[in-house]
Amino acid sequence: MQRTWNLILAVVVAATVIAQLVLLVGGGQDVNTTAAAAPVPLATKLLRFFSYFTVQSNLLVLAAAVSLVIRPDRDGPVWRVLRLDALLGIAVTGVVFATLLYDLVQHSGIGTWINAGFHQFSPVWTLVGWLLLGPRPRIDARTIRWAFVWPVAWLAYTMAHGAITGWYPYPFLNADKLGYGQVGITLAIILAAALATAVVFHLLERWLPATRTR
């Protein structure tokens, strides 16, 4: 069941990423954009695509899912950090999209399916799969500490990239329009919510039954 669940997740996420890349190469729009953007070279499109928290979260989900297809009882300190980053990243992706971005994006055709894959299917399928199938326990204090290296690094890169180029992946991070004070408050709230979510995941692991290992 673990293999089947994660195989479905890996196939859908991989297909979503590939479909979006094909769309970009063909001159189409990135479904993650919330407003019409001026034409830019393909290299810039690809850099921006891989700069989205949504995309990086889905790639982490893909890596974790593939590893669980190969070995359902996967464990190890590095893998634990990867898995928790995937869970936290995709949970934040789903919540932020539903609460802050849903009304800002409108898609048609294949873009509708790509958007659903990134922002709806992947968060729900990943989190439900973790609740039902584990593997667990895998989340401890050390794992939580190391798991925050990636989101903090992403935030630092995003703000530096925005300051240099004027492009921000999400409107609530646009310091040029909102000011660094307001954006800083938003970032603090997001990080605090992510930390609270990690603690909740840890507590749930203590309450939910441990999964069997070979």
Q: Identify which of 119, 84, 121 has the alpha carbon closest to the alpha carbon of residue 99.
A: 119
Long-range contacts at 183-188 (CB < 8 A, ≥ 24 apart): 183/159, 187/155
Q: Is the pLDDT of residue 13 over 70?
A: yes
* Residue 168: half-sphere exposure toward Cβ, Cα within 13 Å: 18
- Residues composing the chain: 214
For tokens 């203590």, name the residue.
206
In angstroms, rounded to a whole number, what is the distance separating the alpha carbons of residues 207 and 201? 10
Q: Which residue has the higher pLDDT, 191 or 57?
A: 57
Residue pair 211/134 in contact (Cβ under 8 Å)? The answer is yes
Per-domain boundaries in the chain: 2-207
145-195 confidence digits (pLDDT tens):
999 999 999 999 999 999 999 999 998 899 999 999 999 999 898 889 889
In angstroms, rounded to a whole number, what is the distance separating the alpha carbons of residues 198 and 158? 22
